Amino acid sequence: MTKVTTLPLLTWLLISVTTLTILFYTTPVSAPPPATWRVPQDYPTIQAAIDATKTRTGDIILVSPAIYYENVIINKEIKLTGVNKATTIIDAKQVGDVIRVETSTAQNPVKITGFTIRNGNNGIRVVSAIGSVNVTGNIIKNNRYGISLIGDPPTTPTTGNIINSNTFQNNSNVGISISFSLSNTISKNDISESAWGMKLSQTNTTTISDNVLKSNSFSIHIMYSSSNNVLNNIGIDNSFCIYAAYSDHILIRDNKVNGSTYGIQLYESDSNTILYNIVSDNPSYSIYLAYSDTNSVTNNTMSRNDWGLTLYNSSSNTIEGNTISYNTFGITYSYSPINPLYPNKIYHNNFINNVDQISRDASTNTWRTPTLPYQGNYWSDYKGKDDGSNGRVAGDGIGDTLIPHLAVDNYPLMNPWGIAKRDVAILGVYESTTRAYIGQVVNFEVIVKNEGPNPETFDVTLKNNVTIIEERTVTNLAPYTNTSLFFNWDTSTVPPGYYLFSATADPVPTETDLIDNSKTDGTISLKTPLLGDINTDFIVDNNDLILFNLAYGSTSTSGSNWNPNADLNKDNIINAQDLYLLGKNYGKTA
């Protein structure tokens, strides 16, 4: 008995020891969690905390509010965190850099947050070729450079830096300086009172978004760079707000610029896109292209500037869909193009109430759409008529008399392009039947039209009474064209009754003619199926009897003449029992 109990005990002991041993050796030894070191509670200075042997990669150095007169060198991958950015101050007393970052990696990026960083040569200098630094939520002021990053050309750019939600103030030379770099994010910063708010050179695939730039000489200054996105920034009272030189494939979109001597300028920069910006109320120039080719300037608003759109020595640009209004000069061009083989294409723009709609030299540009039907621009001072004169089409929205307007536009638009004329409509709702049995699928065709001058995308909803059957999106419907949408209404779960159908097109922006956005058309009577109405014509008659005879004797598994509608008792065979049921309803109507 004792032997019997001892052996299992030893076995269990052996298993337990083995298991524990295996667990001990196979459980990965994870790095200790990051520690937090406090200044001045744990270390008297920030530098002492960084230099401490206990401080390791990933640790947080948490700094209490005070003024720290230091030149901090970060040579470990740590997170330097101030408790309150307004009251946790690092001050270099005008000697050297306030913070110098000598190491950072994508795996363990150095993060600096929550400080006022002031009175240095550089607020934060990241030494050459170090990347992935995250600077978020600081006040960086009264330095010569706010933040300076530089890569190591030609092979090692500084990469993946994040500069987010900081206030840069009165950094005398540059707020954010980045050279030879890739794929940075600069967003939600306020930058003011610098010679250069942002200065990017040889810096690609970087996003500059949602920043507010005020009272800088150059606000966003980009040179020798490519494929950056400049999005949704606000520039106020700068000398040059957005300036790109020797750069290409920059997207400048949805920015708002006012009070600047030069709003948006390209200099020797090709193949860029300037889109949906509002560049208004600038004392001198709005959008200015100099020595710049093959750019796209589209759907911008340039109002109340001295100069609206200006081209100098620039060719093969596309100027489309802009509203240029209430400027002293609407569009100005000289030496653009120098070679007439490379004209600028200028169409679908609105020139409204500029003192001089055009200021120009003898350069020749193309003032119409590239393809038929040719359309030019809208000119508020055009007094011609769309009457079919000169062998042209009347009523097509293009002026036929007094052309070319201002000696350039042979196809002047009668109405502003894209302004208050956007209009979509439902032309008709057509159902495949006016009566249906429950369980049948009813088809609808809804015809919609874009009655405006722009391609439009909008939703169309089909309803029965108040119930939505389906919603569809019409995508990029070309101006002045129709298209048909086809809907299916499955009535399987719908109670019998009369149903009124309507289709509605959601209004497009600025649309005012909403009357034709909805159309109610067609009533459908939905009925319980009438037994014996094999051809579903809502009466049991001789035609149904003929169909029944054709199917007589067939089963659902055999017989090429099988007709499920004739199997009235649903027993998978068409026989006398079904004939009896048909006979009972013969002559009845649904």
Partner 1 sequence: MKLSKSILIPLAMLALLIGVFVVSPGASTTLEVRQVKFEPRTFDLENPDTVIVHVKIFDSVTNKSLADKINPATVLLEGYIPIIDGSNKTTKAPPEFTAQFDGYTVAAMIWAKIAHMGLTTPHPWVPLVVTLKIAGQLYDSTPWEGTGTIKVYIPESSPPPPPP
Which residues contact partner 1 by CB under 8 A?
121-122, 125, 127-129, 144-145, 148, 150-154, 156, 173-174, 177, 179-180, 201-202, 218, 221, 223-224, 240, 243, 245-246, 262, 265, 267-268, 285, 288, 290, 307, 310-313, 332-334, 359
DSSP 489-530: EE-TTPPSEEEEEEEEEPPPTT----GGGEEEEEEEEEEPPP
End-to-end CA distance of the chain: 90
Please state, in angstroms and rounded to a whole number, the distance separating the CA atoms of residues 566 and 6.
81
* CA pair distance 288, 542, nearest whole angstrom: 81
Q: Which is nearer to partner 1, 316 or 332 (CB)?
A: 332
Nearer to partner 1, 218 or 548 (CB): 218
Nearer to partner 1, 158 or 280 (CB): 158
Closest Cα to residue 461, out of 524, 513, 519?
519
Q: What is the CA radius of gyration of the chain?
A: 37
Smallest distance, Å, CB 460 to partner 1?
A: 47
357: closest CA among 327, 384, 385, 377?
327
Give which of 265, 203, 255 is closest to 228, Cα–Cα.
203
Nearer to partner 1, 63 or 149 (CB): 149
d(CA 273, CA 129): 30
Q: CB of 57 within 8 A of CB of 32?
A: no
Nearer residue to partner 1 within complex by CB, 291 or 480: 291
Measured from the CB atom, the residue of 76 and 221 that comes closer to partner 1 is 221
Task: Outline where DSSP puts E strands in 83-161.
Answer: 88-91, 99-101, 111-113, 116-118, 122-126, 134-136, 139-141, 145-150, 158-159
Region of residue 239 (left: phi > 0; alpha: psi -120 to 50; beta: else): alpha
Nearest approach in angstroms of CB 221 to partner 1 is 7
Q: Which is nearer to partner 1, 147 or 425 (CB)?
A: 147
* Shortest Å, Cβ 258 to partner 1: 18
Min dist CB 104 to partner 1, Å, is: 15
Minimum distance of partner 1 from residue 176's CB (angstroms):
12
Q: Which residue has the tokens 């030149």?
A: 71
How far is Cα 9 from Cα 293, in angstroms, rounded to an integer? Answer: 88
Provide the minimum distance between the beta carbon of 396 and partner 1 in the complex, in angstroms, as a whole number: 35
> Residue 581: in which H helix or E strand, if any?
helix 576-585
Least gap, CB of 388 to partner 1 (angstroms): 38
Cβ proximity to partner 1, 292 vs 491, nearer residue: 292
Least spacing, CB of residue 284 vs partner 1, in Å: 10
Q: How far is the CB of 48 from partner 1 (least distance, A)?
A: 21
Query: Shortest distance, CB of residue 267 to partner 1, whole angstroms?
Result: 6
Give 178 or 352: the residue with its C-beta nearer to partner 1: 178
Helix (H) or strand (E) holding 236: strand 234-236
Q: Quick one: residue 259, left, alpha or beta (phi over 0 = left, psi -120 to 50 = alpha)?
A: left
| CB nearer partner 1, residue 356 or residue 506 | 356
Identify the residue whose tokens are 């003032």: 367
With respect to partner 1, which residue has the nearer C-beta, 46 or 127? Answer: 127
Distance, CA of 263 to CA of 304 (rounded, Å): 12
What minimum distance in Å lies between the beta carbon of 402 and partner 1? 27
Report whether the peptide linkage leading into residue 154 is cis, meaning its omega lies within 30 degrees of zero. Answer: yes
Three-class SS state of 82: strand
